[in-house]
Chains A and B, each alone.
Chain A
């Protein structure tokens, strides 16, 4: 599927800011559907952010992270044109990732 992750990375004063919105239900396993059946847990467990292939931040998420999770973080270094990669794996073993250039 296309557009699993929308991301934007900008650099200013030697600091890169990364923002990402990941399309994912993040079902907690505590919510029932309209028929009253529990929606089984389905959430991202690990998400990695890397600069030119080198991981700068690793996130561990539980079911309490909102649906279509948003993240914003900063790191030192990075320049315009560098590659930010973002990839996740969820509790069902599904993976997705994307790459964006620093603007």
Chain B
């Protein structure tokens, strides 16, 4: 396989992070990267737990979860970009990004079909929100990840298989 392949690319990770230079950079780097919490509570925001669609998150099939969440089934679409790795480096942290150019997107959901519960995350977008959301998911095993986009009152979907291998050594 690709065992001994050297994956080379210019300017990445550490180097990009370090571009600021070395002298006294640490303190400089630290401050702007993280804007520390000004207050412990998010101002006036206080999310209401009762709006949580608990039932939709307790389903074990795609169609059941979608029925409860949206009252409909999704049709496949090539207008949705679902960015997820072919092979997860660790099933506990799998970066997944969903984006689309469709207009009037009101909701985006992420499903992992072979997880104990299908629905992983769901987002409600207001008119100003751009349909481009990145998240990190737990995948119990190799599974198809499905992205659902609700646009103009209709449901669209795309999917991608993600292989989850045994983690542990390293």
Contacts and interface: CB of A to CB of B under 8 A. Distances in A.
Q: Do chains A and B touch in the complex (CB under 8 A)?
A: yes
Interface of A: 1-9, 15, 26, 28, 30, 45-48, 50-51, 53, 55-67, 69-77, 83, 85-89, 91, 93, 95-101, 103
A97 B47 CA distance: 10
Interface in B1-44: 32-44
Contact of A2 (B37, B42, B116): B37
A97 B43 CA distance: 8
Interface residues of B, number: 52
A99 B54 CA distance: 27
A60 B45 contact: no
Given A28-B138, A45-B52, 13 more contacts: A2-B40, A6-B34, A7-B35, A30-B116, A45-B54, A53-B44, A63-B57, A64-B120, A83-B43, A97-B40, A97-B42, A97-B45, A100-B35
Contact of B41 (A73, A96, A103): A96
A48 B129 contact: no
B49 A45 contact: yes
A71 B135 contact: yes
Contacts of B120: 61-62, 64-65
Grouping DSSP codes into helix (H, G, I), strand (E, B) and loop, the A interface class, with mixed when no group exceeds half, is: strand
Interface string B122-150: 11111011101111111110000000000
A73 B129 contact: yes
Interface of B: 32-49, 51-54, 56-57, 92-94, 97, 112, 115-117, 119-126, 128-130, 132-140
B134 A89 contact: no
A30 B138 CA distance: 12
Contacts of B125: 56-57
26 contacts: A2-B37, A6-B34, A45-B54, A46-B52, A53-B43, A55-B126, A56-B126, A58-B47, A59-B122, A60-B52, A64-B117, A65-B136, A66-B92, A67-B93, A69-B136, A70-B134, A72-B133, A74-B129, A74-B130, A75-B129, A76-B128, A85-B45, A87-B46, A89-B47, A97-B42, A97-B46
A78 B73 CA distance: 35
The interface centre, meaning the residue of B38, B40, B47, B53 with most chain A CB atoms within 10 A of its CB, is: B47
A65 B119 CA distance: 10
A85 B42 contact: yes
